[in-house]
Amino acid sequence: SEVYLNGKWLKHDEAFVSVFDRAFMFGDGIYEVTPFYSGKPFLLKEHLKRLKYCLDEIQIKFDPFALQETMLEAISRAGLNEADAAVYIQVSRGAATRSHFVPEKIETTVLLYAFPVTLKGFEKKSWEVMATEDKRWHRCDIKSTALLANVMANEEAIAAGFAENLLVRKGYFTEGSHSSLFFVKYGVVHTHPEGQKILSGITRAEVINICTDLNIKVVEKAVHIDELVEVEEIFVTGTTTQIIPISSITHKNKKVYTARKDSVTKKLQEIFIKRTR
Ligand code: PDD
């Protein structure tokens, strides 16, 4: 398959970056994943806006809105015009002799490609997950390619037979290793407030919009692990995850949550899928 690298379309196995690329050496880059349902972009502006915010936060000068045409081209070149897919964009600070100090003359490395995605909301599926301490840095709002803590958390889950790892900071759930996290408690939807402790998920924002439209109350407040006894439903959201219900949570080898209901999650899945069609 083809990838777009620094202005050229190349076969993926013929596309190369410098060994001195700062995304390779330092994780010094930003990425974004934008869904395309039935070949059409979903919440494109929101995704590009977040990418711009992240690039600005780490002072990489690049306008992601200039990539819109290229994103559409990636979908059609990959033959995904009728399919459910996503476009991965990575903007690295660029290649330079290794030093923490960033030289003034450096050109961004821009990588972009499309890949197929399955609409998981259609599958009658739920995830058994685990929970561990959130080991990430203090700027989780920046969608950095430096994903070591996320990868470690996810690997720990997979090795133990779980689908995802829910991250806990000082007793409070933040989000999943690669998903946003929601709780339903006494019929009210709870999710961690935006800020530096979580990624501002685009799917998260859309789910909040859907709740508002359905007159379901949303409270942007972190849920403590001790509150799980009062929680009826939990689900995770994300571009590649969409909306997936959590059937159980294991924490320190103990099952600390088992799903009690599913009606709010089911309703949100139903409306979400309609909006992607
Ligand atoms: N993950 N939180 C984290 C830590 C993530 O990595 C992701 C997305 C999300 C959900 O964000 P969004 O709804 O904007 O995709 C939250 C990758 C991109 C994914 O699962 O698709």
Ligand 1: atom nearest CA of 32 is 18
Instruction: Give the distance (Å) from ligand 1 centre to CA of residue 33.
Output: 8
Average pLDDT over residues 68-91: 98
ipTM value: 0.97
Equal CATH topology for 2-117 and 122-276: no
Q: CA dist 142 to 1, 61, 123, 179, 192, Å?
A: 29, 15, 31, 14, 16
Q: How confident is the model at residue 32 (pLDDT cuts 50, 70, 90)?
A: very high
How far is the first Cα of the chain from the last one, in angstroms, to the nearest whole number? 26
Q: CA dist 97 to 18, 27, 93, 100, 102, Å?
A: 10, 15, 12, 10, 9
| CATH class, 122-276 region | alpha beta
**Catalytic (active-site) positions:** 143
In this prediction, what percent of the chain has a pLDDT beyond 70?
Answer: 100
Residues 117-166 pLDDT 10s: 988 777 878 999 999 999 999 999 999 999 999 999 999 999 999 999 99
What integer best gives the mean pLDDT of the chain?
97
What is the Cα–Cα distance from 59 to 220, expressed in whole angstroms? 29
Instruction: Give the distance (Å) from ligand 1 centre to CA of residue 225.
Output: 22
Instruction: Give the distance (Å) from ligand 1 centre to CA of residue 195.
Output: 15
Instruction: Give the distance (Å) from ligand 1 centre to CA of residue 44.
Output: 14
CATH classification of 2-117 is 1.10.150.120, yes or no? no
* Domain ranges across the chain: 2-117, 122-276
What predicted TM-score, i.e. pTM, was given to this entire model?
Answer: 0.97
Residue ID of nearest Cα to ligand 1 atom 1: 178
Cβ neighbours around 124 below 10 Å, total? 8
Ligand 1: which of 127, 178, 206 to mutate, most ligand atoms within 8 Å of CB?
178
Residue ID of nearest Cα to ligand 1 atom 9: 179
Residue ID of nearest Cα to ligand 1 atom 6: 178
Task: Check whether 26 has a pLDDT greater than 90.
Answer: yes
Pocket (CB within 6 angstroms of ligand 1) = 33, 150, 175, 178-180, 199, 201-204, 237-241
